[in-house]
Amino acid sequence: MLLLIACTKGVPDTGTQDENSPPVGAVALAPESLTAAVDVVAATTVEDDDDDPVVWEFVWSVDGAVVQEGFQNWLAAGTASKGQAVSVDATPWDGIDYGETATASGTLENALPMVTSVVISPEAPLEGEALDCSAEGEDADNDDLSWTVSWLVNGEDAGAEVPADTTLSGETWTCVAVANDGNTDSWPGETSVVIQ
């Protein structure tokens, strides 16, 4: 009698493997007020049922034209200008599957002008000398700046000019300068001198 024995090795498991669940994400632009003076950031949130680590890919556009692609989740300040629309398409990837692309957009508002320098001349004034104040500033939107200058003496309002024979020895005079870009005032800049 001939006995045949069949051996099976490495038979595939006929069970069904769990399918990967693609990540589900959302994106929003930050900060809340977008201007040319600050980076625009894509703030993302994501859920992945498999707890896989998730990587985001970003496509940034300004007025509908793509200006940046890759993994960088911010658009550098100055890339877009006041009044332009910025949008980002953000796509999550868990190493296996891509999730649906999330989109966020916003329009750049007027940037607040900044006072960068306030200088009083002369630097070491003598009693009775007139004082002059000059200021410089910058504006991320390249708007022309106008200036308002006011004076304080020992913390009290002293008007817009300091003519000769006004200052007394020991007094502290402060120049306060505010820039305006045609839309918004800057935060004030100031500097002080003590009359000799």
The predicted-structure confidence for 93-109, as pLDDT tens digits, reads as follows 999 999 999 999 999 99
Same domain? For 89 and 158 the reply is no
The predicted-structure confidence for 143-168, as pLDDT tens digits, reads as follows 999 999 999 999 999 999 999 999 99
CA proximity to 191, closest of 116, 99, 140, 127: 116
Domain that holds residue 189: 114-194
Same domain? For 101 and 47 the reply is yes
Note the pTM of the prediction, 2 decimals: 0.75
The phi and psi torsions of 67 (rounded to 5 degrees) equal -120, -15
CATH of the domain at 66: 2.60.40
Per-residue pLDDT at 15 exceeds 60: no
Instruction: Tally the domains of the chain.
Output: 2
Residue 13 lies in a domain: no
Asked which of 107, 141, 175 is the last residue of a domain, the reply is 107
Section 9-29 average pLDDT = 71
As a whole number of angstroms, the distance between CA 37 and CA 191 comes to 25
Asked which of 72, 107, 142 is the last residue of a domain, the reply is 107
Same domain? For 181 and 150 the reply is yes
